[in-house]
Structure 1
Amino acid sequence: MTETTVPADNSSARLRRRSQKKGALLFVRDVLVIFLVALLVSFLIKTFLVRSFFIPSGSMEQTLQIDDRILVNELVPSVVGLERGDVVVFRDPGGWLPPTAEKDQPPLVAAVDWVLSAVGLSASDSDDHLIKRVIGLPGDHVVCCNTLGQMSVNGVPLNEPYITLPAGVTNVSKDAFDVTVPANSLWVMGDNRYNSKDSRYNREQPGNGFVPIDNVVGRAFVISWPSAHWGWLDNHPSVFAGIRDPEAS
């Protein structure tokens, strides 16, 4: 009888192929784990720390341009308090925005947009939010305008370098107003003063033009896109430095 022997190199080749296959599976597993962990971390960051929005209108020009993307610190105001001059994103208090039709997207595009929104890289609900600058905190007395066209808070006139006015115009508001901000609310205005439907022009709405602090999503702190507009968003503390709190007025 003749014995048949299997060449050793065939056995080695099978072992190498098996090892390579196992290595490839481990690599795919590791990639999936890393992706899922990154997705979870991004979701937690978006939910509790930082969120992205895009700018749909020109009400904050020239500070913010249409289609700029911003990052919003969601620790404000729940952990970090609001300050006058902060640029904040907030949910519509009611009647500030016109009704918007739901976008009809292909299923694949909608799924991708949902994932990007979940991790904070997309802002599909930007059209349902507004962004303005905080001028008055609870209890503040906000008046416009004095003989120089300035607005004042608690009797202190403001010199506002961030606002945009039409050529030849000196009054920082087209319409005069005299308001005291109620508790747990804000008086907000756009930097593009003659093209912003802000607190001044929502006095007939349910909140009388004031924004509940509970509606604030967070404080915008940086322009993230486009790269040519990248920069930190200043709340101009020097503008509001001389204002005393209402209790101390």
Structure 2
Amino acid sequence: MTSQETDVKQATAPSKTWRSWRENLILVAIALFLALFIRTFIAEPRYIPSDSMLPTLHTGDRLVVEKVSYHFHPPITGDIIVFQPPAELQRRGYPKDQAFIKRVIGIPGEIISVVRGKVYINGQALSENYIAEPANQPFSPVQVPADKFFVMGDNRNDSNDSRYWGFLPQQNIIGRATFRFWPLDRIGFI
């Protein structure tokens, strides 16, 4: 091998190394961008911090919250949603970025009440096979305003919900809980 060939080989070696590093950096940047994009606009994982949704969700459950569907239609009664605390909860000391999870009970225009442990929507008893136990205190009828929702935890007697802090503004909704991925023995759609 001549000295000229050796010089060419040495000159191309750093070039190949740099190309390999550059390709890897581009792949990492694309992966980070996709991860941030998906988490911000499509879906994100969430952790259940309390017993307010028992028996449906347990403390420590890990969920996927999808963020796309509510751009096409509003939440409906029965949806389990994740949301940022409304102004009243923030005034009570909850940070704006702390997420809550509850079930949608009333949508705009509906009249919600609790009588003898049963939830009523527009005077009709709501069939609720998902609650831990009936609510132990009455709640006088209220009409859900436009662009707001009435939400309650499934563990009615241990839930900080709309009965105590009012209606949930639609703009506070992060997304809908769709899938439990942990623990493995309860994995599945919600």
What TM-score, normalized to structure 2? 0.85
Aligned-partner Cα distance in 1 for 2:145–2:132: 27
Deviates most, 48-57 or 224-233: 224-233
Compute the displacement of 1:11 (Å): 5.7
Aligned counterpart in structure 2 of residue 151 of structure 1, from 108, 119, 122: 119
1:218 aligns with 2:188: no
Specify the alignment match of 2:188 in structure 1: 231
Distance 1:227 1:24, change over 3 A: farther
Instruction: For residue 63 of structure 2, give the secondary structure of its aligned residue in structure 1.
Output: strand
Aligned-partner Cα distance in 2 for 1:77–1:153: 22
1:72 and 1:221 in contact (8 A); partners too: yes
Compute the displacement of 1:95 (Å): 3.1
Instruction: For residue 201 of structure 1, give the secondary structure of its aligned residue in structure 2.
Output: helix
Compute the displacement of 1:67 (Å): 2.7
RMSD over aligned CA atoms reads 2.3
2:107 and 2:150 in contact (8 A); partners too: yes
Structure with max Cα Rg = 1
Aligned-partner Cα distance in 1 for 2:2–2:185: 61
Distance 1:10 1:61, change over 3 A: farther
Specify the alignment match of 2:47 in structure 1: 54
Specify the alignment match of 1:80 in structure 2: 73
Aligned-partner Cα distance in 1 for 2:6–2:51: 67
1:188 aligns with 2:151: yes
Specify the alignment match of 1:142 in structure 2: 112
Structure 2 gap segments, 5+ residues each = none
Aligned-partner Cα distance in 1 for 2:112–2:80: 17
Aligned counterpart in structure 2 of residue 161 of structure 1, from 99, 104, 129: 129
1:48 and 1:74 in contact (8 A); partners too: yes
Compute the displacement of 1:100 (Å): 5.8
Deviations 1:167-193 (A, max 9, x none): xxxxx2111112221111111000111
Aligned counterpart in structure 2 of residue 131 of structure 1, from 94, 101, 112: 101
Specify the alignment match of 1:37 in structure 2: 30
Q: Which runs of 4+ in 1 moved over 6 A?
A: none
Aligned counterpart in structure 2 of residue 173 of structure 1, from 124, 132, 135: 135
When you count strand as a share of all residues, which structure comes out higher?
Answer: 2
Deviations 1:116-165 (A, max 9, x none): xxxxxxxxx4xx1211000000011222225xx43221233222121112
1:217 corresponds to which letter in structure 2?
Answer: I
Distance 1:9 1:69, change over 3 A: farther
Task: Report the identity percentage.
Answer: 34
1:76 and 1:217 in contact (8 A); partners too: no
Aligned-partner Cα distance in 2 for 1:74–1:229: 23
Structure 1 gap segments, 5+ residues each = 1-7, 102-124, 166-171, 203-208, 234-249
Equivalences for 1:7-46 in 2 at 5 Å? 8=1, 15-46=8-39
